[in-house]
Structure 1
Amino acid sequence: MISDEVKRDIEKIIFRINESLDYDWLKEKQDILKAVEFDYSSENFWKREDAKEKIKLLSFTKKEIGKFNEIKKLKEDIEAMRELYEETSEIMDVEAAKIVKDAEKKVKSLEIERYLSDPYNDLNAFLSFSSGAGGVDAQDWTEMLLKMYLKWAEGKNFETRLLDEAIGEEAGIKSATVHVKGEFAYGFLKVEAGVHRLVRISPFDANKRRHTSFALVEVIPELAEIEDIEIDEKDLRIDIFRASGHGGQNVQKVETAVRITHIPTGITSECQDERSQSQNKLMAMKVLKSRLLVLAKKKKNETIKEIKGEFKSAEWGNEIRSYVLQPYQLVKDHRTNYETGRIGNILEGEIDEFIWAYLKNQK
């Protein structure tokens, strides 16, 4: 007999598959495939400047359609299995559980390919935080966000390194940058780029009044092509200073932290996590080059917004998401209207529901 738990898992995976099988999406991909195949059949195809790109698109689109059909067949197999256990109960619990587990892996693969198929999505990411309007509360909120994303990354077994951190005078942090390494790290985190708003009774207000605070999150991909970028040293200003972050024997004792400013664009990066000044300089340059390469690759303003996240000042009216602790508890994404009252779980890094709600809303 199949247990009630496995039966529930079967219903859940069928529901999840149904959500993934978007036939409008399939029709769009089939139309793209027909158009590219038509181009490919022309006599002068290989004389076209975009021939290689067309071949890549042809291969990628075929793969996407194949994955869709694979999941469709999987659904049919699971539904047949469900009918079999309802009629004869011949399928054993262990076998059914294995089929469901395999199905979950395939559905997850399809979801990732569908929703994270854009350029750069599979890359590592640099995640930056800046406190905005709200004074010390905003700095405390910025540190809360930093911890939230570190816990999220830990839950995904991603590797994280805090590259720089500017500590607030009274509490929290003014800014920070984290290097996040993991499969599709940028694809997931780019969703989080923007202004995040916190409403709560301020722990720094003796009168216990409600305060609103803002923090800005920026995300850029770690691009492999940075080695090809050459920067004129005259265009750089390099500042050496003492690290201001937590911990470490060198903190506030030796000037090992490095800040690099690209003078023509005003873009900056800094690193204080490495043991030596030279290592910090290398990492800061890596971050700077990644930022510059994004600009070089994407000259049009709208495309830059897509990759880095549209710049917004961290203040009222620009927030992408609000986190309310008092007088009620609610987290709401203003782009998708997705919301939950489980703010404690969210601040502990359980933000996947918001990430997937946004990704699915974009397709």
Structure 2
Amino acid sequence: MFDWDNARRRLDELNAYAEDPNIWNDPDRAQELMKERQHLETRIKTVQQFDQELEDAIELESLGDSEEDEDTVQEAQEALRDLQGRVQKMEIESLLSGEADANDTYLEVNAGAGGTEAQDWAHMLRRMYVRWAESQGYKVEQIAETPGEEAGIKSATLRISGHNAFGWLKSESGVHRLVRISPFDSQARRHTSFASVWVYPVIDDRIEVEILDKDVRVDTFRSSGAGGQHVNTTDSAVRLTHIPTGIVVGCQSGRSQHQNRAQAWDMLRARLYERELKRREEAAQATADQKSDIGWGNQLRSYVLQPYQMVKDVRTGVERTDSKKVLDGDITDFLEAALAQKVAPDQDAEDEDARA
């Protein structure tokens, strides 16, 4: 899965580039190559570490068997199971080879209909993604937020930065459903709430997205979140509406309208780029009729807190009964299953071609 020989060959090429003093004549290109070099070095060292851990565990188990030491055998087997889990995760990561998988990502959360209950659910979802991103060592920046009237949020936009951030999270776009006893209902009745998530990649200047000025409406307004006296007393927040597609993006995290405008244009370019990626993917996979099995539009996952505990992914069938851990950011199982399912049709096609 890792394509070891080509990875070693590419690292040798990058090491040769790094020794060329002329490489920094183009700083952007140099940084890109150095980033690729660091990533490859890390992956290669990880594989070498796996090899060493495997040898150590096998040797330890053999020693335990020869001395009839059950504790040593058990320790070796636990080490092998842990190693197996990490190798499987790396196999999944090696499948993140899409056009924008390695990029940073924007993630939007929007409350569905239902007032305070739905807005509180949107807040819980945002917290879940922040917790997951931080556990992966990613940097999280809040770009925009619209608070709810009584609690929670109506919407929020995050920028999550780190290698493969978009690749990991791209499968999270869709509708998320919560079932629980509402803390806002004096009669303690069970409520069902919905919130939507939209994930799209951050793109750099090498990717050209043509946007005509006449197709974009620009609105400015006062920020509603924290940010200091300047942010809250001037029309520094910016909202862009792309008229042909209806796409709307907004930014209020910067200290000036100029900063927010620049960020909003980057977000709009990213949304249009993601839209084109999706159009191409759907055209290439015209047989993807599985979407018709999903209720509530594009429902992705159900989170049930009462009368029992269960989180179930509609697409992959993955279920968890530890809902609190999931809402605390432990969602990697769901991400891995969605990614594996996404690449499975491609792998099946390759196997079929090989048999033919």
Same fold (TM > 0.5): yes
Q: Following the alignment from structure 1 to structure 2, what is the Cα–Cα distance between the partners of residues 231 and 273? A: 23
From 302, 309, 312, the equivalent of 1:322 is 302
List runs of 5+ in structure 1 lacking aligned partners.
1-24, 30-63
Which of the numbers 116, 125, 128 marks the counterpart of 1:136? 116
Asked if the contact 1:133–1:214 (Cα under 8 Å) also holds between the matched residues in 2, the reply is yes
Alpha-carbon distance between aligned partners in 2 of 1:267 and 1:110, rounded to the nearest angstrom: 35
* Equivalent residue, structure 2, for 1:288: 268
Superposed, 1:212-227 pairs within 5 Å as: 212-225=192-205
Letter in 2 for 1:82: E
Distance 1:117 1:340, change over 3 A: same
Match of 1:178 in 2: 158
TM-score (norm 1): 0.69
Q: Which of 65, 75, 82 is the matching residue for 1:86?
A: 65
1:195–1:315 CA contact under 8 A, matched in 2: no
Unaligned runs of 5+ residues in structure 2 are: 4-42, 345-356
What secondary structure is seen at the aligned counterpart in 2 of 1:270? Answer: strand
**What do the CA deviations read for 1:263-301 (whole angstroms, capped 9, x no partner)?**
122112110001100000000000101111233455447
Q: Matched residues, percent identical?
A: 43
**Matched AA of 2:327:** L
Deviations 1:35-71 (A, max 9, x none): xxxxxxxxxxxxxxxxxxxxxxxxxxxxx9xx99997
Please give the per-residue CA displacement for 1:85-124, whole angstroms capped at 9, x wherever unaligned: 422699xx9xx89x97996798267424433233322111
Per the alignment, residue 34 of structure 2 pairs with: none
Residue 330 to residue 101, structure 1, CA distance change in 2 (3 Å): closer
Give the number of equivalent residue pairs: 293
CA offset at residue 234 of structure 1? Answer: 1.4
Structure 1 pair 115–174 and aligned structure 2 pair: CA distance change class (3 A): same
Residues in 1 aligned to 2:139 and 2:317: alpha-carbon distance in whole angstroms: 31
The structural deviation recorded for 1:323 is 0.9
Matched, 1:152 2:156: no
Aligned 8 A contact 1:236 1:261 in 2:
yes
Distance, in Å, in 1 between the alignment partners of 2:81 and 2:185 is 51
The answer for the alignment partner of 1:235 in structure 2 is 215
Structure 1 range deviating more: 346-355 or 282-291: 346-355
Residue matched to 1:162: 142
Contact 1:298 1:304 in 2 (8 A): no
Q: CA deviation at 1:154?
A: 1.3
Q: CA deviation at 1:316?
A: 3.9
CA contact (8 A) 2:110 2:155 kept: yes
TM-fit CA distance, 1:223: 1.8
Find the aligned partners of 2:65 and 2:193 in 1 and give their Cα distance.
Answer: 55
Q: TM-score, normalised by structure 2?
A: 0.70
**What are the equivalent positions in structure 2 for 1:4-43 lying under 5 Å apart?**
none
1:115 to 71, 95, 111: 95
Distance 1:266 1:305 in 2: 25
Corresponding residue for residue 36 of structure 2: none
The separation in 1 between residues aligned to 2:299 and 2:182, in whole angstroms, is 19
